[in-house]
Amino acid sequence: MCATCGCSDTNPIHDGSGHDHEPHREHVSPGGPSALHDSRRSTISIEQDLLAHNDAMAHDNRRWFAERGVFAMNMLSSPGAGKTTLLERMIRDRTGGRPISVIEGDQATDLDARRIRAAGARAVQVNTGTGCHLDAAMVARAARELDLSADSTVAIENVGNLVCPALFDLGENIRLVVASVTEGEDKPSKYPHMFRVADAVVLNKTDLLPHVPFDFDQFLSHLRSINRRASVLRVSATLGDGLDALHRWLCDRIRRSGGEP
């Protein structure tokens, strides 16, 4: 949030809409303990207002998606876990079925959006500047820019970060947290809120298991200590291993949402 993740920086946010949006600026006056207490109280109030505004926008997004039969999945991970590679593989392996569009979130560049377009899907890049997560307003603008077709799927690739993206509802149907064997098995315990909100945890880069020290049972134990409901899917985005199971899981969730896979 603004007080903790750098989103209150004075740099504008370039969100792909063609306009710069000035993020919230908070002024804290020096003046000893009393002023510090007031600033903390102000910060809490600002954070609450920020999340309340975001939740309202997320509600509008959810209704907008539902009215069009769009299934939205929010993909979250640390940098380098393989979200974009996984999306590329899912797009290229798709035969028939629902069209896929992608909202790409990064602090800078359109490198990932270009990769997604090369794989065969429509994409819009959202650059957050110093912000470390997407919010519902950014997703609303990007979704309208994509002009999503009826009965389609939109993948929202969030900024690589295991903290702040977990706090912001975007109006999605599901949250996929992508982890990788190269990150170690303790990440669910170190970043509990992120893994707690996951509908599914996709464990990527399983082709590297012979070469890295990773204990799957320990990973699962860490995960189940904070989230007993999330599905766990083991994949190799580069080789395609496990992608059929992921596809079946997504089709099931689309059916549950009232759509046709």
How would you write the pLDDT of the chain (261 residues) with one tens digit per residue? Answer: 445 455 544 333 344 444 444 443 333 344 555 555 665 665 666 567 788 999 999 999 999 999 999 999 999 999 999 999 999 999 999 756 789 999 999 999 999 999 999 999 999 999 999 999 999 999 999 999 999 999 999 999 999 999 999 999 999 999 999 999 999 999 999 999 999 999 999 999 999 999 999 999 999 999 999 999 999 999 999 999 999 999 999 999 999 998 887
Query: What pLDDT was estimated at residue 213?
Result: 97
Q: Note the maximum CA span of the chain.
A: 64
How many angstroms separate the first and last alpha carbons of the chain? 35
* Region of residue 152 (left: phi > 0; alpha: psi -120 to 50; beta: else): beta
Query: What pLDDT was estimated at residue 97?
Result: 79
Give DSSP secondary structure letters for the chain: -HHHHSTT-SSPEE-SSSSEEPPP-------HHHHHHHHHHHHHHHHHHHHHHHHHHHHHHHHHHHHHT-EEEEEEE-TTSSHHHHHHHHHHH--SSS-EEEEEEESS-SHHHHHHHHHT-EEEEEE-TT--S--HHHHHHHHHHHTPPTT-EEEEE--S-SSGGGG---S-SEEEEEEEGGG-TTHHHHSHHHHHT-SEEEEE-GGGGGGS---HHHHHHHHHTT-SS-EEEE-BTTTTBTHHHHHHHHHHHHHHTT---
Interacting residues of 27 by C-beta distance below 8 A, sequence separation 6+: none
Q: Report pTM.
A: 0.84
Domain spans, the chain: 52-256
Which CATH superfamily is 52-256 part of?
P-loop containing nucleotide triphosphate hydrolases (3.40.50.300)
Query: What pLDDT was estimated at residue 35?
Result: 55
Query: What pLDDT was estimated at residue 174?
Result: 98
